[in-house]
Amino acid sequence: MSDSSLRQGYGPAQVELLARVERDLRARMSAAKPRRLAHSLSVARTAEELALLYGEDPFEARLAGLLHDWDKVLDGEEQLAEAMRQGIDLGVELSLVLPLLHGLTAAGRLPRLYPELPESVIRAIRLHTLGSARMTGLDMILFVADGIEPLRKASPGIARVREMLARGASLPELYWESFASGVSFVIETRRYLYPGTIETYNQIVLERARDAARGQR
Ligand SMILES: [Fe+2]
């Protein structure tokens, strides 16, 4: 395992699991999807760093980063078939929300492959495409790390989140900017916007307004 996990003082079982997951990920992605592999490793490093910065569990953050795109090696047809096999129901035709499915299907499959994965990690993976108005610290870390990992080309939204991080913004602020930029991007590119995403967006707007009224932000 790399020096960084030793630096975090991970226990032997944690080091072993991280090494096994990384080995499996390389076997799954290195030939077919080398860029996806590089992205996954970069998200893992970014998530680990964010966890250390925001007082979350760096081990869980790193695991979630490594595994979040587990099902992205599947092509669109295979992702759809897997979602149907798992009985995933988002209330719309699944082919309309193809980019959202891989987080849900991975979360459905990974516990059988890695029974020792913490539920918090599975949950962060499940929510990394959809987001939610009820995100834990770890959920937000994976969502943000996926957007800003250094290999990802900077869109204006990504550049804003990176600047906010450099200025010391809070984790909920980074998540909100990442989520809202993602919604804007779907609209800018004139693609189908999942109604559940609009609902989540509105929920967060209302909660932020309520918090602001209570003077919490
Ligand atoms: Fe990703």
Instruction: Calculate mean pLDDT across residues 93-116.
Output: 97
Query: Ligand 1 centroid to 162 CA: how many Å?
Result: 16
130 secondary structure, DSSP code: T
User: At CA 194, angle to CA 189 and CA 200, rounded to 5?
Assistant: 110
Q: What is the pLDDT of residues 54-92, one digit of tens each?
A: 999 999 999 999 999 999 999 999 999 999 999 999 999
| Protein fold of 4-215 | Hypothetical protein af1432 (1.10.3210)
Query: Ligand 1 centroid to 202 CA: how many Å?
Result: 24
Query: Ligand 1 centroid to 101 CA: how many Å?
Result: 12
Query: Ligand 1 centroid to 213 CA: how many Å?
Result: 35
Query: Ligand 1 centroid to 211 CA: how many Å?
Result: 30
Average pLDDT across the chain, whole number: 95
Collect all residues with Cβ–Cβ distance below 8 Å to 135 and sequence separation of at least 6.
127, 143, 175
